[in-house]
Homo-oligomer: A and B are copies of this chain.
């Protein structure tokens, strides 16, 4: 860390459920004041209160009617207000406890992004204003989830992206650590609401966490990517319970991490789009997916089957919320001819994740056998360096997750 950097800076992030009431905001403000008195230089980023973002999206949909997708630029202007509200309230709460603080919008905090409304990427952070405020002895509250795009309009970074704001701030400020406070008290081997024997991990590597995050664990995957690139240690811990959390880091794995399979990731928010009768020639996949990429829609699992009449079926999955728009975009493209487009919902991803997996045989076999024995039908399969993913019916998730957690003995701490 360079001499000029803000040494001793801690970035904290509080999720929407942690700041859902005035009382909770006051409690967190009290915690922050204690840390500030103990000498921490705090930069705090907050999500919108409770269900604010969903409520704003609902009223936008009510205003435009069910068949029209609201303008992405206006939607960003709308939903970015949620974090302005929570950040100003947090600053007020800290003031009322006698500690100086200031709230900054994404723009004021120097967060510059590209102009892909709804899922903008952070281009750079000019930390000058934040450092100046820290220098003045203030706790700095930054509205999460948002920045200023190239065109001078407010952008948002995508759902759950206050995590990304926090990690990006930690990287830009060369902070000691980024702490993500939430309503879960750490990263578990799988979702404990679905698998009762799920076990909290003391630590996890960036790669595995990334895979867990992409696959449904309660953290924004882009934030983990960023943390890995800038080597920012990230602590995930409970906002209101004083119990040890999980440290995500890039250091040497301890014994716990030597286990090949780290956890079972679950994502119940999956829809698939199938394009049938696609001409079978090079460039087809790119032609179909480019409009989605241009619109900032993340495509996840992709499967293409070749058939013998010169056409093929092409299937991909997206988040349920992006399904309708994805279909429209596929229908709107003119590069690739096809017979029909269909949409399937009510799906889920269940993934076995672990860095040791590519070196050991039999993980896939164990997975498929466990699912088969439990009577779970597999719709699609995809593999990566750190995991194997199956798409299954959503209502089979509990059966699948419990079967896999047992099969890989994840309830046992080695």
The interface of chain A, by Cβ under 8 A from chain B, is 22-23, 25-26, 29, 56, 59-60, 62-65, 68, 70-71, 73-75, 77-78, 80-81, 84-85, 87-89, 91-93, 95-96, 102-103, 105, 108, 152-154
Whether B64 and A95, one on each chain, are in contact in the complex, defined by CB atoms closer than 8 angstroms, is yes
Contact A89 to B78, CB < 8 A, known contacts A64-B96, A95-B71, A96-B68: yes
Whether B103 and A89, one on each chain, are in contact in the complex, defined by CB atoms closer than 8 angstroms, is no
Whether A75 and B63, one on each chain, are in contact in the complex, defined by CB atoms closer than 8 angstroms, is no
Which residues of the other chain, B, contact A91 by a CB distance below 8 angstroms?
71, 74
Please report the C-alpha to C-alpha distance between residue A102 and residue B151 in the assembled complex, in whole angstroms.
13
Contact A81 to B75, CB < 8 A, known contacts A60-B92, A63-B92, A152-B108: no
What is the count of identical protomers in the complex?
A: 2
Which residues of the other chain, B, contact A81 by a CB distance below 8 angstroms?
81, 84-85
Q: Which of B64, B73, B88 contacts A93, CB < 8 Å?
A: B64
Q: Name the residue among A26, A73, A75, A96 with the largest chain B CB count within 10 angstroms.
A: A96
Please report the C-alpha to C-alpha distance between residue A25 and residue B65 in the assembled complex, in whole angstroms.
12
Whether A77 and B70, one on each chain, are in contact in the complex, defined by CB atoms closer than 8 angstroms, is no
Q: Which of B74, B103, B152 contacts A88, CB < 8 Å?
A: B74
Contact A92 to B75, CB < 8 A, known contacts A25-B63, A81-B84, A81-B85: yes
Closest 4 CB pairs of A and B: A22-B62, A64-B96, A81-B81, A78-B88
A155 smallest CB distance to B (angstroms): 13
Closest residue of chain B to A105 (Cβ to Cβ) is B77
Contact A95 to B77, CB < 8 A, known contacts A62-B22, A89-B63: no
A and B contact pairs by CB, cutoff 8 A, 19 listed: A25-B63, A56-B85, A63-B92, A63-B93, A63-B96, A64-B92, A65-B96, A70-B96, A71-B92, A74-B91, A74-B95, A74-B103, A77-B84, A77-B88, A77-B103, A78-B85, A78-B88, A78-B89, A108-B153
Please report the C-alpha to C-alpha distance between residue A287 and residue B84 in the assembled complex, in whole angstroms.
37
Which residues of the other chain, B, contact A152 by a CB distance below 8 angstroms?
108
Whether B96 and A75, one on each chain, are in contact in the complex, defined by CB atoms closer than 8 angstroms, is no
Which residues of the other chain, B, contact A65 by a CB distance below 8 angstroms?
26, 96
A191 smallest CB distance to B (angstroms): 32
